[in-house]
Chain A
Amino acid sequence: MLPELSIRDDLLNNLRAAYARMWVRLRGANRDPTALVAEIGLPILTIGAYVILYRAIGFPATAGAAVIIGGAMIAFWTNVLWNMSSQWFWEREQGNLEMYLVAPVSRMSILLGMAMGGGLNTALRALGIVLLGIFIFQVPFQLKEPLLVGVVFVLTLVALYALGMLFASLFMLYGREAWNTANLLQEPVYFLSGAYFPGFYGPIVPLAIQAAGSLIPMTIGLDAIRRLAIGGGDISSVWLHIIALVACTLILFPIARRTLNYMESLGKKEGRLTLRWQ
């Protein structure tokens, strides 16, 4: 029988696993410059269409700035959907899932590694989208508290990727449903998060849509970042957002852990953990 690991060694093992998963993700996503260029350039096409639409119907230039930030945040949502939520599906298709399951580490550390790698990769791309958007569309920003923007941004990512971990657990046994569900969660979330609107929490967006959108951490974070970066706001304008983002993380993370354990156990019972081509 193998000796039992101390808590410290166990923690180190899990952190190593998370780092290893992050490293694979970073290497995998950045080895192809074409993909990097496309991932920065592609969102600009859609962003451009909305910026032109805003200009066409006489909105101020700040609406364009809001769309650029929204477009950059959408990159994170796309990453959460395709590289977190659907990831166990891809891994199963490629035969890696069973290796994760027999490894002597928590599955959460694998998800954490995916989240860190995905978050860093997407942050690079989001920065590119914002800079390219500003360069092409010449929209104004009014940034007074860059540090606070950074804090809100990191809190948003943590909450968003906690949601990604939950989805990854829920999608664990999916076959083609994983693909289709990820597809399904794209445009509706663009709408509900107000990513392409000049503002979300205000009299112009119906209350029911605001309420539904607030269930997505990106909506809250996006609104806070816009208030700080475009409206020139300070902590007094975003403290509620910060509390909400922390609450989202504290709620979503344990739920993700429990769901992952449940789905893994269900998969074992039903023999679906290694099932391919569903």
Chain B
Amino acid sequence: MAIADFVKSARESFWVGWKIESNWTDPVLFATYQIIRPLASLMIVGFIVILGAATSQYLAWVIVGSAFYAYVLQVMLGMAILVFVDRNRYEVLKNIYISPGTLHPYVIGRGLVSVLNGTISVVLTLLFSVAIFNGLLHMNIPLDLLGVNLLMLLPAVVLGIISLLAIGYMLCAVNIVSNRMEFILGDSVSGVFFLLGGVIFPISFLPEQIQRISNALPVTYFLNTVRESFGLLPPGNLPPGNYMSDLGILGLTTLAALILGVSVFRLAERRAKRLGLFDRKSEY
């Protein structure tokens, strides 16, 4: 399939996805919806850090981690439910599949809607965090949104998003061949990343054996590199990270996730076709 066709299909899929996710309400309510969830999560952690009289440096570290974790949540939850919604609710998955070469760009396009939602959440969460913790509570947290190094941030975010989309691809694949996992898969995977990805505490606080798993996750390096681009140091007496090394490992883990994601998806696609799963519906 020509690249131009792929891009066109992905663009149309993105547009459909955006309509489905956003036109149920007016733009103001939609923006509120995008901000309230991540902000509430951040407020929980923020309060705990304040209660624990931890340093403002730790709070800044947590804010950036929690804000960018919105990408993980949006992509995992959005892509985990995609197959179920299109197969069961709208009953269009079979139509998409029988159109020539549209399934892959369709999944990518819909995944990009989650990325856009994530971006809105990240930006609004960062702005509100600074407004609340520095503006309202005068905590003087060392978080300079204008001082972020964009040359460091952009590659980190792009690689992080690609890795998340690759993992989301795997979730879609699992849902194509199963019909009982859609409601738990996204939560499970994002829950694992929340615990092991260094979102609210450095992974060195985890037991040593579990740290090995954390060290193999792209999310860990995604959050590390993002924090480094904001010039944030790890809390406590932990040594500062090395941006180039973290970015390199993020690139490698992203590549691994991409290869795995596409392979798993192709396997699932073949199995679904053989067993006639593309139009299988399940009711509860």
**What is A's interface to B at a CB cutoff of 8 Å?**
28, 32, 34-35, 38-39, 42, 45-46, 48-50, 52-59, 90, 93-94, 175-177, 180, 183-184, 186-188, 190-191, 196-198, 204-205, 277-278
Contact of B195 with A277 in the complex, beta carbons under 8 Å: no
Across the A-B interface, give the 10 residue pairs with the lowest CB-CB distance, nearest first: A57-B52, A45-B191, A187-B40, A176-B24, A188-B40, A38-B184, A191-B40, A49-B195, A187-B37, A45-B195
Interchain CB contact under 8 A, B25 and A191: no
Decide if A191 touches B44 in the complex (CB within 8 Å): yes
- Judge whether B194 is part of the interface by a CB distance below 8 angstroms: yes
Partner of A52, one of B41, B89, B205: B205
- Bound CA–CA A198/B43 (angstroms): 15
Could you tell me if B47 and A49 are in contact, using CB atoms closer than 8 angstroms? no
Interface string of B221-243 (1 = CB under 8 A from A): 00000000000000000000000
Write out, one digit per residue, whether chain B residues 45-83 have a CB within 8 A of any chain A CB (1) or not (0): 101110111100010000000000000000000000000
Contact string, B3-35, partner A, CB cutoff 8 A, digits 1/0? 000000000000000001000110000000100
- In the bound assembly, the distance between CA atoms of A45 and B33 in angstroms comes to 25
Which residues in A have their C-beta under 8 angstroms from that of B25? 177, 180
Q: Which residues of A contact B38 (CB under 8 A)?
A: 187
Q: Tell whether, in the assembled complex, residue A42 and residue B191 are in contact, meaning their CB atoms are under 8 Å apart.
A: yes
B180 at interface (Cβ–Cβ under 8 A)? yes
CB neighbours (8 Å) of A188 from chain B are 36-37, 40
Classify chain B: how many residues form its interface, as a range: 35 or more
B200 touches A49 (CB 8 A): yes
Select one of B53, B180, B202 contacting A35, CB under 8 A.
Answer: B180
Interface check B144, CB cutoff 8 A: no
CB-defined A-B contacts under 8 Å, sample of 30: A34-B181, A42-B184, A42-B187, A45-B194, A46-B195, A49-B200, A50-B200, A54-B48, A54-B52, A56-B201, A57-B49, A57-B53, A58-B52, A90-B284, A94-B283, A176-B20, A177-B25, A180-B25, A180-B33, A184-B36, A184-B37, A187-B41, A188-B40, A190-B40, A191-B40, A191-B41, A196-B48, A197-B48, A198-B51, A277-B90
Chain B residue with the shortest CB-CB distance to A90? B284
Contact, CB under 8 Å: B36 / A53: no
B139 within 8 A of A: no
